[in-house]
Structure 1
Amino acid sequence: MTQKTMAVIGTGVIGNGWIARFLANGHKVRAFDPAPSAEEKTKKYLNDVWESLTNYGMTEHASIDNLTFVETLEEAVQDADLVQENVPEREDLKKQVLSQVDEYAPATAIIASSTSGYMPSVLQENCAHHPERVIVAHPFNPVYLIPLVELAAGKKTDRSVLEDARVIYDQMNMKPLVMSGEIDGHIGDRLMEAIWREALHIVNDGVATTEEVDNAIVYGPGLRWALMGPFLTLHLAGGEKGMAHMLEQFGPALKLPWTRLVAPELTEELRGKVIEGTAIQSGDSNVQELEQRRDRFLIKLMQLLDEEGFWPSEKEVRHHE
């Protein structure tokens, strides 16, 4: 893959994850974040995850030295092939930053927002120059390992830009999922949010601890979802007749009031249960140690999928209009 210049605006957990993936794939990165200690935190982050990236595999020209922090947003984007925006999830802030990026970035640059919630049509509203190159490119943490990136176009987006972005992310060993349309929260986060709300209700009602909820996923549906996802998993639940029989057999259960999709009130009592529960689960391991364990597991899991020939092809992860 030809070396490109990537601009990263905002260097929190997601922004730094993008920086790590870009660098591991041999690209140059120009980063901007107004926080005084941003550069120091990013360099520490890169040093912490570089071993995981080395084990996962990186290109010949991968180097932390390809990172440059700059003092202004304009300087960060002026020569960029792709701009990855990662500022906090506030609509006014994102629209303001993307408007500035649109003003200063080359007309040929792709502008991608990592937003987990906002639709691209909303984010491109204040882009007065080239709104047609503004898209959503929503990753999943840790960005430097998890391959999925959800790509969505807004009402003003040129579809060729979405295709160009798909190629770029695909060449970085990612699995770009090009959405047929746009929706708040995209796909992955909407599904995770539904499970998260239900999990909070279960803990709040005293039915299970945080550890019991996690175990119910890790040792059950989580194992199946890692390979097939909810639809194909349930297709197998229907036996020889597949989904047709599953819907006939279990469809009526959808009307039963098992789930409570409205989020529970986050009371001090519920907060205490969740915080105490996860602290007990963590034991003597700090967050960095848990992250390293997670990374080792993810690398092994992705290698297993590859070895078994189940690594999803572009056709399997891409939506078509």
Structure 2
Amino acid sequence: MPAAKNGAALWSRRTSITSSCCSITRACKPNAIIGSSTSGLLPSDFYSDTVNPDRCLVGHPFNPVYLLPLVEVVKGKKTSQEAADAAAQIYAAIGMHPLKLSSEIPGFVADRLLEAVWRESLHMINEGVATTAEIDDAIRFGCGIRFSFMGSFLIYTLAGGDAGMKHFMAQFGPALELPWTKLKAPQLTDQLIDRVVEGTDQQKGSRSIKQLERYRDDAIISVLDAIKGAKQRHGLRPDE
């Protein structure tokens, strides 16, 4: 596979990837980890006929890959946990942030979140609610800044005050029933609420809400300063 040695890329089509992966696994050592960066195919679909499929997985990065640290490590049905752990260690060693998915799902995690925002954005444009620039500004100057360092669940935990996510879900959870978006909301069961509360409690750890609020404010200032500096260096106005 001379082309593979030179870093050749393959189209994310099942037939081409399946054929290439079969050839690669036959040529590699039995303990070599084989990874695909596909964003649209499930590992079980194109690794099923490979040699030693237990060492085959997906390592899905984000563009620009030389700057964004996230890489989703996705196992197929036959992928061993040992291979997934080893791949995650390799990614971490080169400065990336491996996110090991517990199961394979179309779109993985990050792209599914992006798809939800993209879909809702298209609905608003189609209905004349907002322009593309207005939607981008809503993200760039609002939630996007907070998302960059705290995600969504910890941010909403702070909105619940000292009682955290439990209070937030009780106060704002019913709003999911309002027809704000084109996306159908899941039923707000006790089980779902418990999962969200338990998950955010683990994220919060021993830190208090006040400590997290101070971190949030400091991070927002740092992000805004970084964006402002980059705009100045590239001749952009602060409001662009």
TM-score (structure 2 length as normaliser): 0.73
Letter in 1 for 2:48: E
Equivalent position of 2:106 in the other structure: 184
Shift of 1:187: 0.4
SS in 2 for 1:169: helix
Whether 1:114 aligns to 2:37 is yes
SS in 1 for 2:152: helix
SS in 2 for 1:135: strand
Shift of 1:8: 8.1
Pairing of 1:90-169 with structure 2 (within 5 A): 90-127=13-50, 129-169=51-91
Q: Distance in 1 between matches of 2:11 and 2:128?
A: 33
2:126 is matched with which residue: 204, 214, 221?
Answer: 204
Whether 1:31 aligns to 2:15 is no
Equivalent position of 1:235 in the other structure: 157
| Residues 237 and 133 of structure 1, relative CA distance in 2, 3 Å threshold | same
Q: Distance in 1 between matches of 2:67 and 2:109?
A: 19
Q: Distance in 2 between matches of 1:172 and 1:102?
A: 24
Shift of 1:207: 1.1
Q: Distance in 1 between matches of 2:36 and 2:7?
A: 15
- Among the aligned pairs, what percent are the same residue? 46
| Residues 260 and 182 of structure 1, relative CA distance in 2, 3 Å threshold | same
| Residues 8 and 220 of structure 1, relative CA distance in 2, 3 Å threshold | farther
SS in 1 for 2:65: coil
Q: Distance in 2 between matches of 1:89 and 1:126?
A: 17
Q: Distance in 2 between matches of 1:121 and 1:231?
A: 30
SS in 2 for 1:220: helix
Shift of 1:32: 4.7
Q: C-alpha deviations, 1:131-174, integer Å up to 9, x for none?
A: 11101100000011100001011111111111111111111110
Shift of 1:106: 2.0
Q: Distance in 1 between matches of 2:160 and 2:64?
A: 34
SS in 1 for 2:6: strand
Letter in 2 for 1:115: T
Q: Distance in 1 between matches of 2:53 and 2:19?
A: 13
Q: Distance in 2 between matches of 1:92 and 1:255?
A: 42
Q: Distance in 1 between matches of 2:159 and 2:59?
A: 33
Shift of 1:261: 3.5
Q: Which runs of 5+ in 1 are unaligned?
A: 1-6, 10-29, 34-85, 263-299, 305-321
Letter in 1 for 2:158: L
Q: Distance in 2 between matches of 1:169 and 1:200?
A: 34
Shift of 1:93: 2.1
Q: Distance in 2 between matches of 1:230 and 1:87?
A: 34
Equivalent position of 1:215 in the other structure: 137
Regions of 4+ moved over 3 Å: none
Shift of 1:89: 2.3
Q: C-alpha deviations, 1:224-249, integer Å up to 9, x for none?
A: 10111111111111111111111111
Letter in 2 for 1:123: F
Higher relative contact order (CA 8 A, sep 6+): 1
| Residues 207 and 233 of structure 1, relative CA distance in 2, 3 Å threshold | same
Q: C-alpha deviations, 1:28-84, integer Å up to 9, x for none?
A: xx3253xxxxxxxxxxxxxxxxxxxxxxxxxxxxxxxxxxxxxxxxxxxxxxxxxxx
Q: Which runs of 5+ in 2 are unaligned?
A: 185-221, 227-240
Shift of 1:204: 1.3
SS in 2 for 1:248: helix
